[in-house]
Amino acid sequence: MAPPLLVKGRLQAGNVVLPCAFGRGGIRHAKREGDQATPAGNFRLVGGYYRPDRVARQSWPFKLARLTPDDGWCDDPASASYNRPVRLPFRAGHEPLWRLDHLYDLVIVLDYNIRPRSKYRGSAIFLHCARPDFAPTEGCIALAFEDLRRLLPRLSRNAVLIIR
């Protein structure tokens, strides 16, 4: 029998260790679209979004854009917009970024499969807010909202998230 997949873990930032959730597919070196795995590797934080109706603008070390209800992210490998932000409505497969469940109140885009983009290698890999029970993600890394809110201003523009 295969060992259970890791879906709960810890994020270490200097001396601070925070609980986090990973994808229900575990952590994988060979990430594929739809496998629900979190990719292993070293990833820069390349920007992100915040819900202005839920999160006050702060001084963050990198650009966070205000989310609007028509923001989305393309997760359709057949689309030329694969693994890119899109405006809704959008014909191809996509994930809405304006959510009711608070998971994307703060969302940081990781540089996974951004440059170059490879079809079917995985999309929408974010650092975002966790569910209260730290349930597994679809492949992202999730922290408690308060932990993510406190951590963001302390990160360097050159911060690298190491997933292993």
**φ and ψ at residue 18, rounded to 5 degrees:** -120, 140
* pTM beyond 0.75: yes
| The predicted structure's pLDDT at residue 8 | 85
In this structure, is residue 6 part of a structural domain?
no
Q: What is the pLDDT of residues 15-68, one digit of tens each?
A: 889 999 999 999 999 999 999 999 999 999 999 999 999 999 888 888 999 999
**DSSP line for 44-82:** EEEEEEE-TTTS-----SS-EEEP-TTEEEE--TTSTTT
| The predicted structure's pLDDT at residue 7 | 72
pLDDT at 6 over 90: no
In this structure, is residue 1 part of a structural domain?
no
Local confidence band at 2 (pLDDT 50, 70, 90 cut-offs): low
pLDDT at 10 over 80: yes
Q: What is the pLDDT of residues 111-164, one digit of tens each?
A: 999 999 999 999 999 999 999 999 999 999 999 999 999 999 988 889 999 999
In this structure, is residue 2 part of a structural domain?
no
In this structure, is residue 162 part of a structural domain?
no
In this structure, is residue 5 part of a structural domain?
no
Q: Domain limits at 149?
A: 19-137+145-155
DSSP β-bridge partners for residue 17: 12
Maximum separation of any 2 CA atoms in the chain, in Å = 48
Q: What is the mean pLDDT of residues 85-99?
A: 98
In this structure, is residue 105 part of a structural domain?
yes
| The predicted structure's pLDDT at residue 149 | 95
| The predicted structure's pLDDT at residue 25 | 94
How many domains, in total, are found in the chain?
1
In this structure, is residue 65 part of a structural domain?
yes
Run of H or E including 85: strand 85-87
In this structure, is residue 124 part of a structural domain?
yes
| The predicted structure's pLDDT at residue 5 | 56
